[in-house]
């Protein structure tokens, strides 16, 4: 029970890595606020947690909306009394759109969810953590946040920004008992591909040109195990770090 009596908010918790994190965190004793745009999906996750004897609440949230993010954090405090762990996991792809075809609309949508959502939730959680003198933030970055072409221009830029934001928050609040780290997954078997429609052929071919060097895809549960480690006291000396989880793909 490595997270016994801790309260965790997890975005993108209806499926994939977020769902795996929610289930594992609850198994390890955390009270979980499972948040996602897919309200039906998070309600099913909560049912599964409760069936296994855990405590959880489902919250519908669009991380691109300030009021939704505020309600998400407020729900954690109202239902469970506090907040200890924030996992910013929600994100979308960008149809592998190359730089010469990126529209303002696509760029803003990807950044609003992948980066602004992280900022909004962190900004809302930090006053709680500062008052407590402790707190943990875990951001889902991507191999695209440390490499140049694992996706389109907007997604790549947004995940690089998440990496930089993680390092900034980690260092600036280190003396306040707050840690902020990121996980950079490579290929993982999730449904994030459903956030794409009509991927750009040129951009996809360039982004996928190194896919043969990928040793294998991971499973959501493998990423959840890393998140559990970062959320627990076992990682107390790790802060402002980006953990690559890609079977060695970006080491090539």
Q: Tell me, yes or no, whether 158 lies in a domain.
A: yes
pLDDT tens across 4-37, in order? 999 999 999 999 999 999 999 999 999 999 999 9
Q: Is 184 helix (H, G, I), strand (E, B) or coil?
A: strand
pLDDT tens across 146-175, in order? 998 889 999 999 999 999 999 999 999 999
| Domain housing 43 | 7-245
**Is a pLDDT exceeding 80 seen at residue 230?**
yes
- Quote the CA–CA distance of 213 and 17 in Å, as a whole number: 23
Cα dihedral 141, 129, 18, 235 in deg (nearest 10): 70
Q: In total, how many domains does the chain have? A: 1
Residues taking part in catalysis: 155
Q: Tell me, yes or no, whether 129 lies in a domain.
A: yes
pLDDT at 252: 82
Q: Tell me, yes or no, whether 162 lies in a domain.
A: yes
- Quote the CA–CA distance of 114 and 81 in Å, as a whole number: 28
**Is a pLDDT exceeding 80 seen at residue 191?**
no
Q: Tell me, yes or no, whether 152 lies in a domain.
A: yes
CA–centroid distance for 108 within its chain: 19
Q: Tell me, yes or no, whether 250 lies in a domain.
A: no
Q: Tell me, yes or no, whether 43 lies in a domain.
A: yes
Q: The tokens of 138 are what? A: 């875990």
Q: Tell me, yes or no, whether 187 lies in a domain.
A: yes
pLDDT at 11: 98
Q: pTM for the complete prediction?
A: 0.95
pLDDT at 77: 98
Q: Tell me, yes or no, whether 252 lies in a domain.
A: no
The CATH number of whichever domain residue 212 belongs to comes to 3.40.50.720
């Amino acid at each position: 029970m490595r997270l016994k009596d801790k309260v965790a908010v997890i975005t993108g918790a209806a499926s994939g890595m977020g769902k795996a994190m929610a289930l594992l965190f609850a198994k390890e004793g955390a009270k979980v606020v499972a948040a996602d745009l897919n309200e039906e999906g998070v309600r099913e996750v909560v049912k599964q947690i409760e069936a296994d004897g855990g405590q959880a609440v489902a919250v519908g949230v669009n991380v691109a909306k300030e009021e939704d993010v505020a309600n998400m954090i407020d729900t954690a405090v109202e239902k469970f009394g506090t907040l200890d762990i924030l996992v910013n996991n929600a994100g979308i792809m960008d149809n592998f759109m190359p730089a010469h075809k990126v529209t303002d609309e696509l760029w803003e949508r990807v950044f609003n969810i992948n980066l602004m959502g992280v900022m909004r939730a962190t900004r809302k959680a930090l006053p709680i953590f500062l008052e407590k003198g402790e707190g943990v933030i875990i951001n889902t970055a991507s191999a695209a946040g440390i490499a140049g072409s694992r996706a389109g221009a907007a997604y790549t830029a947004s995940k690089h920004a998440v990496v930089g934001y993680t390092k900034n928050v980690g260092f600036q609040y280190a003396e306040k008992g707050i840690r902020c780290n990121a996980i950079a997954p490579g290929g993982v078997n999730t449904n994030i591909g459903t956030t794409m429609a009509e991927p750009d052929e040129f951009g996809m071919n360039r982004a996928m040109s190194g896919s043969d060097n990928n040793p294998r895809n991971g499973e959501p549960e493998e990423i959840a195990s890393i998140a559990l480690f970062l959320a627990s006291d076992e990682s107390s000396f790790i802060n402002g770090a980006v953990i690559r989880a890609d079977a060695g793909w970006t080491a090539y």
